[in-house]
Structure 1
Amino acid sequence: MQTKIDFIGGNTKRCLMAMALPMIAAMFLNMAYNLVDSLWIGNLLGKTAYAALTNSTPIILILTSVAMGATNGISILLSQAIGSKNQKRVESLIATSLIVAIVFALMITLILEIFLPHILIALNTPVETYDMAYSYLSIYVLGYLAVYLYLYFTAVLRSFGNSMFQAIAMLVSTILNAILDPIFIHCFGFHGAAIATLLSQGICLIFMVVYLKRKKFFSLHITWFDKADIFPLIGKAIPSIVQQSIPAISTTFLTALISTYGITAIAAYGITGKLETILFYPAMALNMVLTTIVGQCIGGQRIDRAKDYLKCALKYGCVLLFLLSGIIVIFSKQLAGFFVNSTEVATIVGVYFLTVSIGYVLNTVTNCFLGVLNGLGKPEKSMFLMIFYYIIVRMPLAYLLSSLGFALNGIWITVLVSHICAAMASMLVSLLQIKGEK
């Protein structure tokens, strides 16, 4: 298959937009997919059920982050092979990575089903929400293979310069979940939402396979499997998994910390997480897009083109996030009312977004530079940066300020501080790496 977009010879702005806009659309559709559960559960079942969903969310985030990280690791090697026009290498990477992806996803599913009760206890899940969170997650985990394969195929297509498929697949899945959610919640209660999610993911995977087979975007033969590719794939996947998972681990830690402040605080934090997806997903999209584009540029030995794409992504990404974050900050209290009808919850949500505010623009800067590092084939550097500002800065500082009596406000301040540290550190490391590529 030929790449859909000429990243090396084409117009920088047009090529970036051709990849980024469908990716951002897919991300917003994914946000809508997740919001469906939240809106139906919050409005039909109340604050306790919504708190149970919030307790479940960190685990779901970690699972999704693992899948996104592993498949993004595949995209690093694949995009570089495509950029260097090494067809044999491309074919062996696709075949090998697919088998590895299936085995890995099944292992994760088995481990989660066995240890789920212990994980929920470790997260300080309140007694009032434990049974509901367990029933939801035990069903959700069964669909993990479908989630993983969806992300795998979209990463492969993205490496070839096709991001439109991800938007189409996500649209189908979102519509299915929106239709099935109220039906299954009405019939089965809280865990009916998980059943609806499981079914929509399975149907979406079937649609995906049929779509790929008919369009013939790329060739796939298991006989092209090459065990020599396993360790290079793992070598790129592990740093990418850690990189994607660390924010989810941080969220898990903060959720456990915030759980000590009661159901209202948990519900409010759950709402901030949902609204933040509006602000995080464009940045994440730029990260993944730059991984692919820079990878192809490096494969084609055009570091100058990689720098052009970075400048363009920073320019348009920061403008977009400035506008979006302003809207969320201004209307955060009103938006909170769509999830849970509670003045106390809305107040906490409003304070959170007012405190963090500019942090979302800084997060976009961070993701652009991390995408460049990944595309350069240096996901381990991105990983260490993530460890620095999430594990070393955010988590200890949140615990410290909370313990010193700043309570929830101390945690919110910590989130902003970590965004500042992230932008500064990622910019410095990325620019030094780019300079070394000359």
Structure 2
Amino acid sequence: MNSDIEKSKGVDQRISMVTGEPKKAIRVLAIPMIISMFLIMAYNLADSIWVAGLGPNALAALGFINPLFMIVIGLGNGLGAGATSLIARCIGAGSKEGADNAAMHSLILTLAVSAVFTVILLLFLPNILLLMGAGVTVGLATEYGQIVFGGLILFIFSNVASGILRAEGDVNRPMYAIAATAILNIFLDPIFIYYLGWGVSGAAWATIISSSIACGLLVYWLLLKRDTYVSFSREDFKASWNVVKNILMVAFPASVESLVMSILGVILNLILVITGGAEAVAVYTAGWRVVMMAMIPPIGIGTAAITVGGAAYGARNYENLSTALSYSAKLGVGIAVITGLLSYVFAGNIATIFTYSPESAFMAPSIAAFLQVMFLFYLTVPLGITASSIFQAMGKGFTSLILTIVREVAFVAFFAYLFAFTMGFGSSGVWWGIVVGGGLGCAVAYVWATIYIRRLKKNY
């Protein structure tokens, strides 16, 4: 009996926090999210660091897999965002039945989407890589990709299950699952890659095995322990196209956003291949892993804003929605200034992490130069991430998608081409294209979100 009371009290506290003061809720939710994402990037970075010792071709092979892997992660993030948004809106509106049904539909969609994309990627991976310009690295990229994409369901399920927990304010348990995954992956990488001599395949198997741990923990918490706000049983499930549509209205555009960014990654890789060969791709691959780590705080804050903004929108509390937008952006920019300065000052030291072997030492100056240029990119990213998150929170996924297309295609791809070819900057033109195009796109997104919420408040 006491155990049941404690469980109920914990759930009530989480729901009160999600629907309460938005600034506090965003801070409380964002911190575990940021820690979780740092752990994810840590084991992704570990892959790059250990694979870098195999030479630039092996590192470039990971670079060609990255856009495809981001599509997979995007599918999981999209479905997770759809689940978070709808469940949070149901919580804000006081509908537990709706939250339960949304959670059930999310898991069913996870199984269906995973099955389809696993088959597609395993059948057509070599051809896709050749179209992406993998060239001499296609063998290594295929070797790595077929193993990772064979376990595609692990990555999608982890994101969706975590999204369900985040919707009710439980961000600690997803963090614990990710921590177990990251630690195990970092430990297994050198063993599989070098000690057992499996090369890039070893990095892939380390990722798959460690990701299984997170899935096992999440299955236990959601389906076996049953101490969450949402519940899973046949009685809770009522098949509804409207529920599916509400999830997909966020999930599909969010997943397509990742596809758009992956397509941009392919475009940038092609420009880099033309202007600097596999070495330029390797520099970008290594440097971008560091950039992604610097972007984790604003992404974590934005993910928290989906929960808080969704609950506010469901309750029609547009003042809290406005606060969630402005506070998330300010907090993200403040942190970005600090991480950007650290990245700029210690760019040379960071570059040596990827160039510890004789085969890759020559890339150190280029990686350091890339990181110093990216300092300017960090400052505007929180604006775009926050705007997209708030639109997802409101169920306006297609608006978020439009903003991403404008940023990545109309701005970043255009300026990367302009600087690399028209202005003759070569490979470094891609870097400046990201800075200028990304900055303009993020500013447009934030202004759009601000105007949209002002109209909601005015018309309510």
CA apart distance, 1:80: 0.4
Identity %: 25
Task: Name the CA shift for 1:3/1:148 in 2 (closer, same or farther; >3 Å).
Answer: farther
> Which residue of the partner structure matches residue 142 of structure 1?
150
User: Quick one: which of 112, 123, 126 aligns to 2:121?
Assistant: 112
Deviation readout 1:302-353 (Å, 9 max, x if unpaired): 1111222223222222111100011111212221111124454222222223
Number of matched residues? 436
The unaligned stretches of length 5 or more in structure 1 are none
Shifted more, 185-194 versus 397-406: the winner is 397-406
User: Quick one: which of 16, 23, 27 aligns to 2:33?
Assistant: 23
Pairwise mapping of residues 398-417 of structure 1 onto structure 2 (< 5 A)?
398-404=416-422, 405-417=424-436
Aligned counterparts of 1:432 and 1:401: Cα–Cα separation in 2 = 32
CA apart distance, 1:2: 4.2
Q: 1:84 is aligned with what amino acid?
A: A
Q: 1:107 is aligned with what amino acid?
A: V
Pairwise mapping of residues 7-406 of structure 1 onto structure 2 (< 5 A)?
7=17, 10-43=20-53, 45-127=54-136, 129-185=137-193, 186-187=195-196, 188-212=198-222, 213-214=224-225, 216-217=227-228, 218-223=230-235, 224-228=237-241, 229-260=243-274, 261-341=276-356, 342=360, 344-404=362-422, 405-406=424-425
* TM-score under structure 1 length normalisation: 0.95
Aligned counterparts of 1:50 and 1:372: Cα–Cα separation in 2 = 36
Q: 2:285 is aligned with what amino acid?
A: G
Q: 1:433 is aligned with what amino acid?
A: Y
Aligned counterparts of 2:245 and 2:21: Cα–Cα separation in 1 = 36
Deviation readout 1:29-52 (Å, 9 max, x if unpaired): 011110121121113x22322222
Deviation readout 1:232-291 (Å, 9 max, x if unpaired): 322222112122332232122212221231232121111111101221211211221111
Q: 1:401 is aligned with what amino acid?
A: F
Aligned counterparts of 1:55 and 1:327: Cα–Cα separation in 2 = 28
8 Å contact kept, 2:374–2:435: yes
Deviation readout 1:404-423 (Å, 9 max, x if unpaired): 22211221111111122122
Shifted more, 347-356 versus 147-156: the winner is 347-356
Deviation readout 1:97-116 (Å, 9 max, x if unpaired): 21111111111111111110
Aligned counterparts of 1:263 and 1:96: Cα–Cα separation in 2 = 43
The unaligned stretches of length 5 or more in structure 2 are 1-10
> Which residue of the partner structure matches residue 4 of structure 2?
none
> Which residue of the partner structure matches residue 436 of structure 1?
455
CA apart distance, 1:92: 1.2
- Runs ≥4 in structure 1, deviation > 3 angstroms? 7-13, 341-344
Aligned counterparts of 2:30 and 2:15: Cα–Cα separation in 1 = 12
CA apart distance, 1:7: 4.4
8 Å contact kept, 1:126–1:259: no
> Which residue of the partner structure matches residue 6 of structure 2?
none
8 Å contact kept, 1:282–1:317: yes
* TM-score under structure 2 length normalisation: 0.90
8 Å contact kept, 2:36–2:174: yes
Aligned counterparts of 2:317 and 2:80: Cα–Cα separation in 1 = 24
Aligned counterparts of 2:367 and 2:15: Cα–Cα separation in 1 = 41
8 Å contact kept, 1:180–1:196: yes
8 Å contact kept, 1:294–1:306: yes
> Which residue of the partner structure matches residue 424 of structure 1?
443
**Cα RMSD, aligned residues only:** 1.8
